[in-house]
C-alpha cells in the first residue's frame, strides 16, 4: 500500500477541505488502483520484497516482473509478432486501395481485383492468427511434459488443445468474422493463462508476458477491422457483389463512345433504307471518286 501524503490529516473527515487535498486524494487513489491493476495482470505473483516501497506503482510493478523474463523469450515473442504486424499493415493499405477503387477514385484498378487482393491479405492474417493460437496452447503441453508446478494430466492438456481446435475452426469463417473470433480467442486464452499463472502452472512472469503480447495482437486485429469497415469492402458477400456489378455498369455508362477517323483503306457508310443492313463497309474512294 502507498503511504498517504499531505491529505492524510483529512482522512477522518467527511471530505477534503481544499482543492489541493482533493487532488492529492485522487492521485493516491488512482495510484493504488493502477498498482492493483498491475498486480492483477501479473496474476497476483508480486511479493513485497520484489518491489521497493517507493516503487509500488503500475510501472514499478510492471518493470519488476518484466526484468524476471529471460531476454530470449522477449526477443522471440516480439519477433513472432512481426509477421502479424506486417499482415496488418498490408491489410490496412489494401483496404484503402480497395475503398478507392470501389468508389471510382482509382480508375485503373478494377474494384473486383482490389477486393480479391484484400481478401487474400485478410486470409493470410487470419491463418497466422490461427497458428499463433495453436502455438500458445501448445506451451501448456510443454509445461505439463516438464512437470512445471506438478503434473495435472487431462486438465492442462485440454487447456493446451482447446486453442488449437478453436484457432483451426476460425479458418472456416469469412475473414472479418474470423478476425473477430480470433480476438475473442486471444482474450480468452490470456484469461486462462492468468488463472494458470496464479495457480502455479506457469512461471510467475508468464501472465504479464502474455498480456502485452495479447495487447499487440488485439490492437492489430482492431486496426484491420477498422480499416476494412472504414475503407474497403470485403469480398465473398452478396451485397458486395451486387455493389460491384452496379459500379461496373455505372463506369460503362460513363465511358465515352469511340468514334471518328479510323485508319486503313475502308470506310463505313449508312445503307439505303431498302437495304438489308444498316451499314455498308467498303474500300475508300480516291479524291477523284474512283475506288482504290
From 75-79, 197-201, 254-258, the region with the lowest mean pLDDT: 254-258
Q: Which structural domain, as residue segments, surrounds residue 136? A: 71-245
Where does the pLDDT of residue 243 fall: very low under 50, low under 70, confident under 90, or very high at 90 and above? low
End of a domain among 43, 67, 91?
67
Mean pLDDT of the chain: 75
Residue at 267 is within a domain: no
User: DSSP per residue over 184-229, as a string?
Assistant: HHHHHHHHHHHHHHHTTSS-TTHHHHHHHHHHHHHHHHHHHHHHHH
What per-residue confidence (pLDDT) applies to 71? 86
Residue at 264 is within a domain: no
132 shares its domain with 59: no
83 shares its domain with 218: yes
What's the average model confidence in pLDDT over 189-193? 92
End of a domain among 37, 67, 97?
67
- HSE of 174 in the Cβ direction (CA atoms, 13 Å)? 13
Residue at 150 is within a domain: yes
51 shares its domain with 96: no
Q: Which residues in 86-119 are b (16+ Cβ under 10 Å) and which e? A: ebbebbbebbbbbbbbbeeeeeeebbbebbebbb
214 shares its domain with 107: yes
Better-scored residue on pLDDT, 241 or 215 = 215
Better-scored residue on pLDDT, 144 or 119 = 144
59 shares its domain with 79: no
155 shares its domain with 36: no
CA angle 205-67-1, nearest 5°?
Answer: 75
Alpha-helix runs per DSSP H in 46-174? 58-67, 71-102, 111-146, 154-170
Q: Residue 99: pLDDT above 60?
A: yes
CA 51, 53, 54, 59 dihedral sign is positive
Residue at 269 is within a domain: no
Q: Residue 27: pLDDT above 90?
A: no
What per-residue confidence (pLDDT) applies to 51? 43
Q: Residue 113: pLDDT above 80?
A: no
179 shares its domain with 53: no
CA pair distance 190, 159, nearest whole angstrom: 12
- pLDDT tens digits, 160-172: 999 999 999 999 9
- pLDDT tens digits, 40-76: 555 555 544 444 444 555 455 556 656 778 888 889 9
Better-scored residue on pLDDT, 108 or 277 = 277
The cell numbers describing 164, all together, are: 488449437
CB 211 within 8 A of CB 61: no
Structural domain count of the chain: 2
Q: Residue 215: pLDDT above 90?
A: no
Where does the pLDDT of residue 1 fall: very low under 50, low under 70, confident under 90, or very high at 90 and above? very low
Residue at 146 is within a domain: yes
93 shares its domain with 43: no
51 shares its domain with 88: no
12 shares its domain with 150: no
CA pair distance 90, 96, nearest whole angstrom: 10
If one counts every other C-beta atom within 10 angstroms of the C-beta of residue 164, the result is 18
Amino acid at each position: 500500500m502507498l503511504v498517504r501524503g499531505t491529505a492524510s490529516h483529512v482522512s477522518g473527515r467527511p471530505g477534503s477541505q481544499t482543492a489541493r487535498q482533493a487532488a492529492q486524494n485522487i492521485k493516491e487513489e488512482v495510484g493504488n488502483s493502477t498498482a492493483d491493476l498491475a498486480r492483477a495482470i501479473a496474476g497476483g505473483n508480486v511479493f513485497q520484497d520484489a518491489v521497493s516501497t517507493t516503487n509500488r506503482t503500475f510501472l514499478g510493478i510492471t518493470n519488476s516482473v518484466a526484468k524476471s523474463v529471460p531476454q530470449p523469450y522477449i526477443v522471440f515473442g516480439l519477433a513472432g509478432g512481426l509477421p502479424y504486424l506486417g499482415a496488418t499493415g498490408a491489410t490496412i493499405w489494401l483496404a484503402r486501395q480497395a475503398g478507392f477503387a470501389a468508389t471510382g477514385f482509382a480508375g485503373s484498378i478494377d474494384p473486383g481485383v482490389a477486393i480479391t487482393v484484400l481478401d487474400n491479405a485478410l486470409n493470410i492474417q487470419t491463418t497466422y492468427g490461427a497458428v499463433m493460437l495453436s502455438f500458445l496452447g501448445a506451451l501448456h503441453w510443454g509445461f505439463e511434459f516438464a512437470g512445471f508446478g506438478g503434473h495435472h494430466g487431462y486438465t492442462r492438456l485440454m487447456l493446451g488443445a482447446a486453442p488449437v481446435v478453436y484457432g483451426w475452426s476460425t479458418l472456416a469463417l469469412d475473414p472479418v468474422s474470423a478476425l473477430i473470433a480470433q480476438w475473442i480467442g486471444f482474450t480468452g486464452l490470456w484469461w486462462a493463462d492468468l488463472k494458470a499463472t496464479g495457480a502455479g502452472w506457469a512461471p510467475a512472469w508468464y501472465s504479464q508476458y502474455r498480456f502485452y503480447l495479447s495487447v499487440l495482437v488485439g490492437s492489430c486485429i482492431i486496426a484491420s477491422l477498422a480499416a476494412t469497415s472504414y475503407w474497403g469492402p470485403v469480398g465473398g458477400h452478396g451485397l458486395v457483389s451486387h455493389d460491384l456489378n452496379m459500379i461496373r455498369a455505372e463506369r460503362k455508362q460513363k465511358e465515352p463512345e469511340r468514334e471518328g477517323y479510323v485508319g486503313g483503306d475502308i470506310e463505313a457508310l449508312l445503307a439505303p433504307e431498302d437495304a438489308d443492313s444498316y451499314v455498308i463497309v467498303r474500300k475508300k474512294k480516291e479524291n477523284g471518286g474512283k475506288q482504290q
